A and B are shown apart, each in its own frame.
Chain A
Amino acid sequence: MTVLVGYVPTPLGEATLRAGVEEARRRAERLVVVNMSRDDVLVDAHRAGPDDLDRVERDVAELGVDVEVVRIEEGGDPADALIHAAHERAASVIVIGLRHRSPVGKLIMGSTAQRILLDARCPVLAVKEDGG
């Protein structure tokens, strides 16, 4: 069993990662950090660079948690990719970050977080930026 974190290179992503580390310690499980970037855009702001992922791996390992960093670069849907990864690695919990979205923004773009909450087969821990 593992704890799966959806990581993005933003303050919210760092907060999500911290919550994931805590959760992995509490459950004494392996931590899987997933960074997803879409392949149908030229630039994805959610893509974490190699340096970034190396740093995450080092920091978490220093905290004494067993960690695996996964980068997914295929597909156009982060929600699908995350749920699939969670299924593959038998995740006992998924940790994701929740952004504040305006009603219009939600109407047009939909919400990745919402899709994960509805479709995941395991519990989901949602983290907000302020208050961690």
Chain B
Amino acid sequence: MDNISALLGGFADVITPVNLLIALLGVTVGTAVGVLPGIGPAMTVALLLPLTYGLPVEQSLILFGGIFYGGMYGGSTTSILLNTPGESASVVTALEGNKMAKTGRAAQALATSAIGSFVAGTIGTMLIVLVMPQVVDFAITLGSPEFLAIILVAFVGTAAILGSSRVRGFAALLMGITLGLVGTDFVTGQQRLTFGSPFLADNIDVIVIAVGIFAVGEALWVAAHLRRRAATVIPVGRPWLSRADWGRSWKPWLRGTALGFPFGAIPAGGAEIPTFMSYLTERRLSKHPEEFGKGAIEGVAGPEAANNASAAGTMVPLLALGLPTNATAAIIIAAFMSYGIEPGPLLLTKQPDLVWMLIASLFIGNFFLLVLNLPLAPTWAKLLRIPRPYLYAGILFFASMGAYAVQGQPFDLYLLLALGFIGFAMRRFGLPVLPLIVGAILGPLFERHLRRSLQTSGGDISGLVGGPVALVCYFIILGVLVWPLVARLRRGARGDDDDADHGGDDTPSGPVSTSTTHTWEGPGS
């Protein structure tokens, strides 16, 4: 009951005209960037981070929470109307959603995705209220060795589970950790990887890394590559659902929520896997299996609920442990740090008002999103007519301004450009971006826990395996790393390894995204 009354307190704090306006602004911006392929909530939050230095911390977090939720709504619009997912989480929506649109049921597809997102977002946010404090109670008992193990799970998870190949994932992760290590050693005061430059002695600011990799990298990539023929808009009326559509939608919404939330909450779960699983579940359970592949409403309702529920689930490790499970959450962690707030298990004890206010604002943002998206979906589709040069000129402007604002040093602009080229090269060679960001943000934290545990055990390695939690984590890591090898050996023993499976590519969303939809290899999540 404590949680509920604390939440009500959060509502009381959040309902002021200014806060409501900020929430509205956040969800509007979030929907807009969700609609535009290639521009995701993570890039947007990174770009806006330096601009919000002037705002109180509560308001900038309300803004970012709104952008995060809004991105999940907006992504479906492009999937349905254009077969081009605005976000990686909406790839699956395009499968049935675009078919529905082509058979003249665009309005119903948009309606079921908006209402499903609202249902899943509301239930998911309620689950945060119920689950998060329990996780905090548990997390407070954990020491450095356990945290070290949990961070390692997040590292291995983001590098090995997401993306097309483990090698590329780990390469990106190591690049991120390297970037995170630049600066002064916090124990000995030694300078590391600074190349004698005084500008690098004070660590590379995470904002510069995020903006460089996401924004500048993406802009260079688009400038170099993406020219393609314009599409014709599929005209839509006002989104609505008939009684039959409601009847077919509500169960997929609930099942999608049940799948999405836990996946969002575990490190490296993300939204891609649950959306795909939800799609498969709906196809199996549907009473109209013949409609799948031709525009079945269940195939839109389930995945859309799943991706919003996973967005809500992401908030649990973010607020309870300070662990980001996707790119946007990683940037929100950076936002906490830039306000001098240490994200982690103590956040709820030290800043309870802030946390409950953020959660209350998610409820309100979710409601705003339903109001914004249900009647206005056709209007949002008009954003796709903006010529790319205008869009990316704006992004580069904000990126440079943001990087410069961090310290007021021209050096950061050169750094931004260099990181932009790294981001471009990563897209060119198919390296996932998320492990780099996670590595850069969690790398220093990882180091701190590692050294603290080694200091307490007097340099004894056994000090790293303290307690059952750490052991479980190491078993999970071992499983993730060894399982593909075992699977391959078993397949080899059966002698049917005819599918050339390079790099242990077992992400279920892989074959879908390449064969049936145009994926946009951008920083989707």
A positions within 8 Å CB-CB of B: 37-45, 47-49, 73-74, 76
| Chain B, Cβ-Cβ closest to A37 | B230
Residues of chain A with a CB closer than 8 A to B381's CB: 43
| Chain B, Cβ-Cβ closest to A52 | B232
Given A43-B232, A43-B233, A47-B231, 9 additional A-B pairs, CB 8 A:
A39-B227, A40-B387, A41-B230, A42-B230, A42-B384, A43-B231, A44-B385, A45-B233, A48-B232
Per DSSP, chain A at the interface is loop
Residues of chain A with a CB closer than 8 A to B230's CB: 37-39, 41-44, 47, 73
Query: How far apart are B2's CB and chain A's nearest CB, in angstroms?
Result: 48
Q: Does B31 contact A (CB under 8 A)?
A: no
- Can you report 9 A-B residue pairs in the complex whose CB atoms are below 8 A from each other? A40-B227, A41-B230, A41-B387, A42-B384, A43-B233, A44-B230, A45-B233, A47-B231, A76-B387
Q: Does B302 contact A (CB under 8 A)?
A: no
Q: Does B228 contact A (CB under 8 A)?
A: yes
Query: How far apart are B49's CB and chain A's nearest CB, in angstroms?
Result: 27
Cβ < 8 Å to A, chain B residues 381-434:
381, 384-389
| Chain B, Cβ-Cβ closest to A42 | B384
**Pairwise interchain contact A45-B388, C-beta atoms closer than 8 A:** no
Residues of chain A with a CB closer than 8 A to B108's CB: none
Contact of A47 among B78, B82, B228, B232 (CB under 8 A): B232
Q: Does B84 contact A (CB under 8 A)?
A: yes
Q: Does B229 contact A (CB under 8 A)?
A: yes
Query: How far apart are B56's CB and chain A's nearest CB, in angstroms?
Result: 35
Per DSSP, chain B at the interface is loop
Contact of B229 among A37, A48, A49, A76 (CB under 8 A): A37
| Chain A, Cβ-Cβ closest to B392 | A40
Residues of chain A with a CB closer than 8 A to B84's CB: 42
Interface string of B227-264 (1 = CB under 8 A from A): 11111110000000000000000000000000000000
**Pairwise interchain contact A42-B231, C-beta atoms closer than 8 A:** yes
| Chain B, Cβ-Cβ closest to A36 | B230
Query: How far apart are B226's CB and chain A's nearest CB, in angstroms?
Result: 9
Q: Does B37 contact A (CB under 8 A)?
A: yes
A-B pairs under 8 A by CB, number: 50
Query: How far apart are B314's CB and chain A's nearest CB, in angstroms?
Result: 28
| Cα separation A45 to B386 with both chains bound (whole Å) | 11
Residues of chain B with a CB closer than 8 A to A47's CB: 230-232
Q: If A45-B385, A76-B387, A76-B389 touch, does A39 touch B228 (CB 8 Å cutoff)?
A: yes
Residues of chain B with a CB closer than 8 A to A76's CB: 387, 389
Query: How far apart are A25's CB and chain B's nearest CB, in angstroms?
Result: 30
Residues of chain A with a CB closer than 8 A to B82's CB: 42-43
In the complex, the 9 A-B pairs of residues with the closest C-beta atoms, listed nearest first: A44-B230, A43-B384, A42-B384, A37-B230, A73-B229, A49-B232, A40-B388, A39-B227, A40-B387
Interface string of B67-96 (1 = CB under 8 A from A): 000000000001000101000000000000
**Pairwise interchain contact A41-B227, C-beta atoms closer than 8 A:** no
Query: How far apart are B76's CB and chain A's nearest CB, in angstroms?
Result: 15
| Chain A, Cβ-Cβ closest to B78 | A42
Residues of chain B with a CB closer than 8 A to A42's CB: 37, 78, 82, 84, 230-231, 384-385
Query: How far apart are B523's CB and chain A's nearest CB, in angstroms?
Result: 17
Residues of chain B with a CB closer than 8 A to A45's CB: 233, 385
Task: Count chain B CB atoms within 10 A of each CB in A41, A73, A76 and give the residue with the most.
Answer: A41
**Pairwise interchain contact B232-A41, C-beta atoms closer than 8 A:** no
| Cα separation A39 to B385 with both chains bound (whole Å) | 11
**Pairwise interchain contact B229-A41, C-beta atoms closer than 8 A:** no
Query: How far apart are A101's CB and chain B's nearest CB, in angstroms?
Result: 16
Task: Count chain B CB atoms within 10 A of each CB in A44, A49, A76 and give the residue with the most.
Answer: A44
Query: How far apart are A71's CB and chain B's nearest CB, in angstroms?
Result: 9
Residues of chain B with a CB closer than 8 A to A44's CB: 230-232, 385
Contact of B386 among A41, A49, A74 (CB under 8 A): A41
Task: Count chain B CB atoms within 10 A of each CB in A38, A40, A45, A49 and give the residue with the most.
Answer: A40
| Cα separation A52 to B218 with both chains bound (whole Å) | 35
| Cα separation A37 to B82 with both chains bound (whole Å) | 16
Residues of chain A with a CB closer than 8 A to B37's CB: 42
Interface string of B7-43 (1 = CB under 8 A from A): 0000000000000000000000000000001000000
